Amino acid sequence: MKKCTLPVLEMSCSVCANNVENKVKSLPGIHTAAVNFAANTLTIEYDPEQIALPQIKAEVQSIGYDLIIDEENQEEIQEEAQKTHYSLLKKKTITAWGLSIPVMLLAMFFMHLPGSKWIMMILTLPILFYAGSDFYIHAWRQAKQHTANMDTLVALSTSIAFLFSLANTIYPQFWTAQGMEAHVYYEAAGMIIAFVLLGKLMEERAKNSTTSAIKGLMGLQPKTARKITETGEVEVAIGQLQPNDQISVRPGEKIPVDGVVVEGGSYVDESMISGEAIPVKKQPGDRVLAGTINQRGTFILKATQVGSTTILAQIIRMVQEAQGSKAPVQKTVDRISRIFVPTVISISVITFIAWIAIGGNHYFSQALLSAVSVLVIACPCALGLATPTALMVGIGKGAKHHILIKDAYALENLCKVNCVVLDKTGTLTEGHPTVTDTWWTSNADPILSSILLAAEQKSEHPVATAISEYLEKEGCVTPKINSFESIPGKGIEFTFEGHEYWAGNLSFAKARQTKLSEDILLLTDRWAQGNKSVVYYGDENRLIAVFAINDSLKPTSAQAVRLLKRKNIEVHMLTGDEKKTAQAIAQSLGIEHIQSEVMPADKETYIKELQQKGKNVAMVGDGINDSQALARADVSIAMGKGTDIAMDVAMVTLITSDLLLLPKAIRLSQKTVRLIHQNLFWAFIYNVISIPVAAGILFPINGMLLNPMWASAAMAFSSVSVVMNSLRLKHSAI
């Protein structure tokens, strides 16, 4: 399966988005398809062996829309298409208003001027057939597919108003013979187009603001790089670079690809990726990332990841896919959108019939105006924009603050969390443990240190790394051990020249029936109370050594725990450390719920038990041994400096090691979901109230009848207000 996000052109409302989505979903080889109306994108997962992108494009074109499938220059093509569309939309809006205002003035103040009706008709023609041409073209395409959208409503309402007015201009005697005035509504037809176009123009500008975060991330990618060849430096496009190419980077330039410094050195600003404000010193052998900024020196790097495989490209892709995903609540909105336009047309017809049934021909004008007003005032766009605009702003804001949210489901679930489970190592602590104290048995053979070093170098655990670094400093050599086995959550077993050795925690030592003297127990107890982990080392018969390992708590861990508890969120800590060490660390952080000496499977069981108690659990971890627990949790959160496996499983990734991002992520989720609910409420209420008013429900009470011109203004305002409400989040603090 292959997954990609493609720009969609020619969509005008949420019904269009549904049409494209349903069409693509019906094609063979399509696993999933989701259209984001606010971003104008289609995210698909498909089987390339069954269907190709050109086939998908052709199918989308067959229903009146288009796709950009050129992945190489996708952003540039989409940006150019958006600029062209916006420029044309602006011209049409200016034309519509420039002609509609004179028509409205004639209708209001000079109706009885000789030839005024013919003048209004002539001025209205370019409004409809130039400024409003897209509405009629799209409506016709929808009709051929036996579907309808917002364009259908605009095309119907303006056509009815114009054709009725044209008939009354050419043959007014039909009404005057009955003692009635032959009314014309050219101003309604013209102003409907003008208001809808103005709303579209404002909507486009506002929608562009919702994508500013992803555009900012894309802006971090330089367009060219200086590749070193046999003949010297050559400036090439980023897309031409290959792994192992050597690239020169000068002061002030953005690094074009992920790579390793091979010559020279500098300080690099990595704040856009890591969140760390202080520039990082780089010298030969150090890794550098695409999008970061070289500050001082000049250096040469060897490319390791290029194009879509760089860390920055992966972050951009993750944010794009998240912004294109659909929140669970959107499924209900999509179902409503599918029946929205046919329902509105039916209400319009019923409105017209009801007016005629009540008042006969004398109420024909009111019947026509009310029917047209119903068509114009109904707004499927507000419903369609309510959820995706809020999601795009929320997920984009998260990315800007180094919080990567995988999809809308994760964002919506995060605000429901009332229990957070924190792995200790790498989450609450720095994840860089060091040996601070040691105890060795008397007359220990120096070879025992070398044997342990050889074994610890084979382990991936941070504690093993700490012991290895300590023993290397002591000048130990590394003999070849005969066998090695890592026992998750306990320690390691290994053999050397026929003798068995082991290293691990207290429970591992006790399981091997190792004798621990009173002095050793007192010593390790004192270490544990100082927040230090204890590792025991022995052979078949005795205890050889004991190590005190200190992994410093992150400066922000205690504050993050306080903020979570202030939100009435239960905080739990899981660790493989022995009980006394765990209790000491938990006490210093203010955590009441702890579980020590846990195995990887125990973490999953612990979360399952919390869920059975009715808790919505978020698990925060950073290692391979957290993957089971992350997969089990309602919301899985990985620390960005953890392993790739943890990040793949996680719904949310905190790019930096700062745990304060966790309460920020929860606040962001709460604000975004609240915004979605607000948008949906006002979009529904708008249609529930406005459609009956447009139909004339207030006429018997106070004689109020809504003019289609003002109905179109209300419709345009409803869409814009939803987008503007979503943009409030962009400027609010989290």
Residues with catalytic function = 423
How far is it, in rounded angstroms, from Cα 353 to Cα 539? Answer: 95
Report the SS3 class of residue 3: strand
How far is it, in rounded angstroms, from Cα 41 to Cα 168? Answer: 45
In contact, 464 and 494? CB cutoff 8 Å: no
Q: Using CA atoms in the order 44, 45, 48, 51, what is the torsion angle rounded to 10 degrees?
A: -50
In contact, 72 and 239? CB cutoff 8 Å: yes
| Nearby residues of 407 by Cβ (< 8 Å), 6 or more positions away | 321, 322, 325, 651
Burial of 365 (0-12, 13-18, 19+ CB in 10 A): buried
How far is it, in rounded angstroms, from Cα 194 to Cα 695? Answer: 22
Give the H/E segment covering residue 438.
strand 434-440
Tokens 């500008």 label which residue? 205
Do the bridges between strand 617-621 and strand 419-423 make them parallel or antiparallel, or are there none, so unpaired?
parallel
What is the dihedral sign for C-alpha 481, 483, 487, 493?
A: negative
Sheet with 403-405, strands from edge to edge, namely: 403-405, 652-654, 635-639, 617-621, 419-423, 570-574, 593-595
How far is it, in rounded angstroms, from Cα 588 to Cα 594? Answer: 12
In contact, 332 and 408? CB cutoff 8 Å: no
Q: Which amino acid is at 388?
A: P
Sheet with 232-237, strands from edge to edge, namely: 232-237, 224-229, 246-249, 299-305, 258-264, 287-288
| Nearby residues of 358 by Cβ (< 8 Å), 6 or more positions away | none
| Nearby residues of 696 by Cβ (< 8 Å), 6 or more positions away | 351, 355, 366, 370, 705, 706
Q: How many helices (H) and strands (E) does the chain have?
A: 27, 26
Rg (CA), the chain: 34
Identify which of 385, 403, 378 has the alpha carbon closest to the alpha carbon of residue 35. Answer: 385
Tokens of 466: 């700490």
Sheet with 66-67, strands from edge to edge, namely: 30-36, 41-46, 2-9, 66-67
How far is it, in rounded angstroms, from Cα 488 to Cα 602? Answer: 11
Tokens 């997969």 label which residue? 631
Identify which of 467, 501, 463, 461 has the alpha carbon closest to the alpha carbon of residue 481. Answer: 501
Identify which of 439, 440, 418, 422 has the alpha carbon closest to the alpha carbon of residue 431. Answer: 422
Q: Which amino acid is at 686?
A: Y
How far is it, in rounded angstroms, from Cα 477 to Cα 200? Answer: 72
How far is it, in rounded angstroms, from Cα 422 to Cα 344? Answer: 51
Q: Which amino acid is at 392?
A: M
How far is it, in rounded angstroms, from Cα 232 to Cα 237? Answer: 16
Q: Three-class SS string for 692-703?
A: HHHHCCCHHHHC
In contact, 647 and 632? CB cutoff 8 Å: no
